[in-house]
Structures are given as C-alpha cells and as structure tokens.
A = this chain, B = another copy of it.
Amino acid sequence: MRIVALAGGIGGARFLRGLKEAVAPGDEITVIGNTGDDIHLYGLKVCPDLDTVMYTLGGGINEDQGWGRTDETWSIKAEMKEYGVGPEWFGLGDRDFATHLVRSQMLSAGYSLSQVTEALCVRWRPGVRLIPMSDDRVETHVRITDEAGPRVVHFQEYWVRLHAAVDAEAIIPVGADTAKPAPGVLEAIAAADVILLPPSNPVVSIGTILAVPGIRQAVSDASAPVVGLSPIIGGAPVRGMADKVLAAVGVETSAEAVARHYGSELLDGWLVDDSDAEAVAGVEAAGIRCRAVPLLMSDVPATAGMARAALALAAEVRA
C-alpha cells in the first residue's frame, strides 16, 4: 500500500512514528513536509519541520522538547551571545547546526532542497520517503499589531519569540503563490492508496503545503481516500498554539470547524477524539465521514492505534 502523509513538525513527526508501527511490511510511506517554517539564520538554511520529521523517525530527536537533537551541546549559541549576534530566541544546538551546514553547503553547490533532504536521509534512514512540499523558497509570515504598531514578522518570530501571545491577523505564506511542488510530490499524491492529514497545524503546516499551487488540487483529484486527524481536542490544540492561527483564518478552534475548514472537496474522512464524539454528526453533515477514537499521542502504541483507525476509516471510505 502506498501511503502519503502531509506533515508539519512535532505533531506530524510523532504521528508518523505511530504510522510506521501501524503499516504492514512492504507498505510505502511518502511524507510531504512543510517548509513554510524554514528560516535563514546565520547565513544557513534551517528547515525545522523537515528536520523534526527526520530526527524523530531517525532516532535523533530530543524526546522531551520534541525538536532538536538528543545529546545536544550549545557552544555556538553561547558564542553568538558573546559576539552579540542574534537571534537569541531561536534555539539551534551544535549538532543541529551541522545539519544546517551540510544542507546550506549542498544548496550553494546547486542541489535542490529535495535532493539535499534525500542526502540527509541517507544518514537518518527515517523509514519513509521525505520530500519537501517545494524546492522553492516559501516562508510563512504573520501580520500582527503590538506596541511596535502593525507589522509582519516571520512565523518563527511569531511562534518562538512571541509565543503567539498577540493575535495573528493574517497568515501569509510568502512565495507560495509562485512555488512549484517539489519533484515527486504530485506523482506521489496521484499514485497514493491512502492520503493522511496527521494532527499537524491545519493553517501553518498542512495549510501551507496545500497553498503550493497544484497540491490542493492533486489531493482533491486523487483517487485515494483522504483522511485527517483532528489536532483539536475538547476545543483546544493538543500542543502548540493552533487556536491563534485558526482565528487568523476565521476558523473556530473545534474538531468540527477544522474538518469544515478542510472541506469535503478535500477530506473523505475525519477522526475526532472520543471526548469530541458530539462533533461526529456535524462533520458527517458536512459530507465527511467521521469517527471518534482516542487521539492523544501519549506514546508510540497509542499513536499507532490512531494511525490504524485512520487507515481503517480510509478502507471504509474506499469500500
């Protein structure tokens, strides 16, 4: 079976680890990774979501924080502070820096981001085929108004530095309008037997992937059933600050509202948490088959159970 998943960072990566446990031997998983949270720091190209997927599936992730490397050291960060070179608010450890150095050097040498990602995965062996959504530069920016007045900041500044403490007025995936899907993205979607939307951020992760021209259409047109898992449980994001960016696009923070936001042109099936069972009827009324199951990724077996439920719902849709 060929499974395609669209994934952001921490939530997507953890779901994929469960998915790998849930699939049968011989099944192939292709992950289309969000690159909208990419940022250039210290002259290097940093791809937080791609790396979180790669490190998580490759056994190099810092489990406690969910991002960055295990056994990390922080010498460069300390030195940058001594040099007075920022940003101080973004945490790049020394081991992590090595990845960005290798990536940046390969990009400078003319390789595409998807070629670089493939090369990095030779080391990490994530057990999935990881493709960035696009080889073109796309960076999500957020319009806010704070004491500095109305302004637009990089998504990472909004998320990491400001902790999404001010309202997001608009989410702008800069460059997405002219970006092309990376080689293999549309082909993988067209050839898929199942397409999964993990419980990643519906706006700045999966929404950004779908904003690359051609990808949303390819998912809609795909013969494979498209099944998503709600990142919202009991009216709140399980992790992160998805409510802030949902509000920016006029979507209520609820399992049903997110399903309706994706819409029945895109989604065939939707999983909500048991605690949101009352949402099932509303989602089905929107033309999307819906089931309530436990959706907390508390450990790998629980997450594998979620993945099995998603695959089962896909099979049910297909039948």
Question: Interface residues, chain A, CB within 8 Å of chain B?
Answer: 42-44, 72-73, 75-76, 78-80, 82-85, 93-95, 97-99, 101-102, 104-105, 108, 120, 123
Contacts and interface: CB of A to CB of B under 8 A. Distances in A.
Given A75-B73, A75-B93, A83 B43 contact: no
A110 B40 CA distance: 17
A129 to B, nearest CB: 19
A98 B75 contact: yes
Given A42-B105, A83-B120, 17 more contacts: A42-B101, A43-B104, A43-B105, A72-B75, A73-B73, A73-B75, A73-B94, A75-B95, A76-B94, A76-B95, A76-B98, A78-B95, A80-B98, A80-B101, A83-B99, A94-B94, A94-B97
A217 to B, nearest CB: 36
A42 to B, nearest CB: 5
Nearest to A80: B98
Contact of A123 (B43, B76, B84, B104): B84
Copies in the complex: 2
Nearest to A93: B75
Nearest to A75: B94
In the complex, which of the residues A79, A95, A99, A108 has the most CB atoms of chain B within 10 Å of its own CB atom?
Answer: A79
A83 B98 contact: yes
A120 B83 CA distance: 7
Contacts of A73: 73, 75, 94
17 contacts: A42-B101, A42-B105, A43-B104, A72-B75, A75-B75, A75-B98, A76-B94, A76-B101, A78-B95, A79-B95, A79-B98, A80-B98, A80-B101, A83-B98, A83-B120, A94-B94, A97-B97
Contacts of A76: 94-95, 97-98, 101
A208 to B, nearest CB: 27
A306 to B, nearest CB: 32
A72 B43 CA distance: 22
Given A94-B94, A98-B76, A82 B43 contact: no
Contacts of A98: 75-76, 79-80, 83
Contacts of A94: 73, 75-76, 79, 94, 97
Task: Report the 3 A-B pairs with minimum CB-CB distance, sorted nearest first.
Answer: A79-B98, A75-B94, A43-B105
Contacts of A95: 75-76, 78-79
A271 to B, nearest CB: 37
A43 B79 contact: no
